[in-house]
């Protein structure tokens, strides 16, 4: 529970920050530095899918993320 931060060095440095669903209330504090968004849903947990969709819609409607690329994964 919490966040995980990883730096990946390719032609330039890419910072990947993992924020779990329980961290949803603080997600907006990271929007300003976000250029790409990967949203992963646990497809094996159907009771959580509707809550995940609500969180995803909140992200997609955030003005600060309007220019960000988005990838949605179901695992």
Tell me whether residue 24 is annotated as binding: no
Burial 1-31 (b: 16+ CB within 10 A, else e): eeeeeeeeeeeeeeeeeeeeeeeeeebeeee
Q: Which residues are annotated as a binding site?
A: 21
Q: Which residues are annotated as a binding site for GTP?
A: 21
């Amino acid at each position: 529970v919490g966040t995980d931060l990883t730096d990946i060095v390719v032609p330039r440095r890419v910072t990947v920050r993992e924020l779990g669903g329980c961290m949803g209330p603080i997600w907006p504090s990271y929007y300003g530095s976000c250029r790409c968004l990967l949203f992963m849903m646990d497809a094996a947990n159907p009771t959580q899918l509707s809550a995940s969709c609500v969180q995803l819609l909140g992200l997609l409607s955030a003005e600060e993320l309007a220019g960000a690329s988005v990838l949605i994964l179901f695992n």
